[in-house]
Amino acid sequence: MSVKIGEIEITNPEKILYPKQNITKLDVARYYADVAKFMMPYLDRRLLSVIRCHQGIEEKCFFKKHPTTESSHIKTYSFKKGEEYFYLTKPADIVFQAQMGTIEFHIWASTISAVEKPDIMTFDLDPDKTLDIAKLRDAVMKLKDVLDSLNLKTFLKTSGGKGYHILVPFSANCNFATFENFAKKVALLLEQKEPKLFTTNIRKEERKGKVFVDYLRNGLGATCVCPYSLRARDGAKISLPIRWEDLNKIKPSDVDIFNYKKYLNETAWQNFFKTSQKIYGK
């Protein structure tokens, strides 16, 4: 049995990918078909890695960044040392990934037109599990305030997990070393100003009662979860763009495959790619 979504044939559509919610492969493909037009600008010509769960999220999933399938829905790109990566160019390519077992999409900070010049900076605010939502939201606003003071326009999304992500679009005008160093300085500044709230220490035992400011998504070859991506975790949560004014209304794991239309806002990240900013001091 198979089901066609547009030009993509979904085989084994009844396969259960999220057992506790009884979510099928067809459900996942239909979700991605529905949001593809919103999601595509963040994937377009951007190298990516995906998480595939052929037998569902409770079985072994794997992180895939090198292409092994030849298809018109996959474009390949050779980056240094002959390493091949892949990228997508049209909405149907997203549905094709769902057919191939993809649940999560993770994108590079740069496009193939300037692969060594990043243009999306990510701050992943990952709270200790004991931290309450009010303190997490306070941390998010403190980071926003720092970036505001640098005259940088920022965009907020849920992580589909415990925290929030703040993304900052830039003109592709510097290398990854400069880019990551800038993000690191912002994170260290937060830690210095609010040592009881923030940490840049990657060790989990050092994060007790704090928010880990993960700036490491900004290095060459690093990735961040793409806006609108499902998460390969129980509940089929979604990393969804939201408005800043909705921070206190939407929790990091509120949005899922069942209720996303309630939260979907086409204007939440309006002008994201029209925001021309440069690294401070350049």
Task: Encode the chain (282 residues) as per-residue pLDDT tens digits.
Answer: 899 999 999 999 999 999 999 999 999 999 999 999 999 999 999 999 999 999 999 999 999 999 988 899 999 999 877 789 999 999 999 999 999 999 999 999 999 999 999 999 999 999 999 999 999 999 999 999 999 999 999 999 999 999 999 999 999 999 999 999 999 999 999 999 999 999 999 887 778 999 999 999 999 999 999 999 999 999 999 999 999 999 999 999 999 999 999 999 989 999 999 998 998 554
- 166 by DSSP, 3-state: which? strand
What b/e readout covers 19-48, taking b as 16+ CB neighbours within 10 angstroms?
Answer: eebebbbbbbbbbbbbbbebbbebbbebbb
Class of domain 120-218: alpha beta
- The Cα–Cα gap between 222 and 106 comes to 9
pTM for the model: 0.96
Q: Where in the chain is the domain with CATH 3.90.920.10?
A: 2-107+226-241+253-263
- Asked: is 2-107+226-241+253-263 a CATH 3.90.920.10 domain? The reply is yes
Q: Where in the chain is the domain with CATH 3.30.70.3300?
A: 120-218
Long-range contacts of 264-269 (CB under 8 A, 24+ apart): 264/35, 264/38, 264/240, 265/241, 266/38, 267/243, 268/155, 268/241, 268/242, 268/243, 269/155, 269/227, 269/241
